[in-house]
Amino acid sequence: MRSNANFPPLRTVLSIPGDAGSHYELGLMYEAGRGVPKDDAEAAHWYRSAAEQGHARAQYALGRRYSEGRGVAQDAAEAFVWYRMAAEQGFDRAQYALARMFSVGEGVPQDDGEAVRWLRKAAQQGYAQAQNDLGVMYEHGRGVAQDYVEAARCYVSAAEQGDVSAQNNLGFLYETGRGVPQNDLIAVHWYRKAAERGHAQAQHNLGVMYQCGRGLLQDYAEAHRWFRKAAERGLAVAQNSLGFLYERGLGVPADPDVAAKWYRKSAAQGHAHAQNNLGVMYQGGHGVAHDPAEARSWFQVAAEQGLAVAQYNLGVMLESGLGGPKDYAEGQRLFRAAAEQENASAQFSLGVLFERGLGVPQDYVEAVRWYRRAADHGDAAAQLNLGIMYYFGRGVPQDYVEAHKWLNLAASRFLASEGEKRAQAIKNRDIVAKKMPRFRIAEAQRLAREWKPK
């Protein structure tokens, strides 16, 4: 029996001078530890040998090594050089890698146009990931004119090959009716395909469809199941949605402690809605100890991300001095920021500030402007105050028809739990009615019936 010592080293056996293919194969063996000890540096050595002879796959493999810093010092610019060599030979994976570098500006200046050019080359060869990413560029108008129809075409090509990101993206286009006819059933079909293969965003999207009863029967338990799958994969939006179900007791027994746990996980990832929701929990002492200062801090971080409801909530705390000192000027700034995003509660609050001159000069015209914007969204309190402004002619010409209309709308829109406010709206409406002839009351009632929220 011959001793292994009589065999030459593996490098000598496979290292045929000028044979790029054998050098590439040897690189693969060292990378995987197949027949030889796994050795990243040796893999990089043989990939380089093959790459320098023009072997496209070896050029791509060497580029990937430089991108990841495996067996060589990490060097994005060097990765770009090798990817480009392979891409120019038509290797689809290298074309895709090159596109990704241009898309994010890694190793080269960021250039969406160049990203699209290389994505298109790879997509035309049927590379599914490139087809999906090209669809993303068309959907968002990056490097090309925004074109939902073309985005859908790209997503279909990739989705039919089983690309889960494309399946999720195609589901979203069908859900929203962008580039394709709106169809919740087809949206659910594509979301489910991706969700069943573990795509976290698709799992969350399918959960939303169950929560809202779109494309299938409303089922909070199923929504919970899919939200949990995505949440456990670390998807922040799903963690927030799961917290909401536990907070409200939808599909699961209400459990504020568990709700707060999931909100906190999501908030720690910077999800603004979860940060706001956690602030609400601290403000009310639900699932956590009552702590207005902590509530204020969570509203603050969410508000800094531009979330309108958080800007409003923080404004309320600043106006009232909860969790810290009062600051009418900052509260007014936050209300305005939220109001410009069409947050009706903030618009109403701005109206109150201008009507009463709190932190701003008293200005009835400006008060009416903000009350009207909130009232147009259906805010009952704003409708009540707007009706009163019309009754007294503050900031607007006195107009009993408009006063009656808005007070009537307010009376119909206050919730059952807001009985005192509803009674106030009815009382004020009836006071106005006593000053109006029947035909004017009928006109006001007609206007109220025809009114629709904006």
User: Can you spell out the DSSP letters for 186-241?
Assistant: HHHHHHHHHHHTT-HHHHHHHHHHHHHT-SS---HHHHHHHHHHHHHTT-HHHHHH
- Give the mean pLDDT of the chain: 95
Question: Residue ranges of the domains in the chain?
Answer: 364-454
> What pLDDT, in 10s, does the model give residues 318-331?
999 999 999 988 99
Show the tokens assigned to 137: 């560029």
Average pLDDT over residues 249-262: 98
Q: Is the pLDDT of residue 186 over 90?
A: yes
pLDDT of the residue at 7: 38
Average pLDDT over residues 100-128: 97
Q: Is the pLDDT of residue 166 over 80?
A: yes
pLDDT of the residue at 2: 38
pLDDT of the residue at 358: 86
Alpha-carbon separation of residue 84 from 25, 66, 128 (angstroms): 21, 13, 20
Q: Is the pLDDT of residue 259 over 60?
A: yes
Q: Is the pLDDT of residue 31 over 90?
A: yes
Residue 365 amino acid letter? V
Residues 437 and 452: their CA atoms lie apart, in Å, by 25
Residue 162 DSSP code: T
Average pLDDT over residues 446-453: 96
> 195 falls in which pLDDT band (50, 70, 90)?
very high
Residues 417 and 13: their CA atoms lie apart, in Å, by 85
The total number of residues shown for the chain amounts to 454
pLDDT of the residue at 9: 42
- CA angle 396–401–403, rounded 5-degree value: 55
Q: Is the pLDDT of residue 405 over 50?
A: yes
> What pLDDT, in 10s, does the model give residues 5-30?
443 344 443 445 568 999 999 999 99
pLDDT of the residue at 16: 53
Average pLDDT over residues 332-339: 95
Q: Is the pLDDT of residue 384 over 70?
A: yes
pLDDT of the residue at 3: 40
Exposed/middle/buried for 179, CB within 10 Å: 0-12, 13-18, 19+?
A: buried
Q: Is the pLDDT of residue 4 over 90?
A: no
Show the tokens assigned to 375: 């009232």
> What pLDDT, in 10s, does the model give residues 284-305?
999 999 999 999 999 999 999 9
pLDDT of the residue at 18: 64
Nearest Cα neighbor of 80 from 97, 68, 93 is: 97
> 192 falls in which pLDDT band (50, 70, 90)?
very high
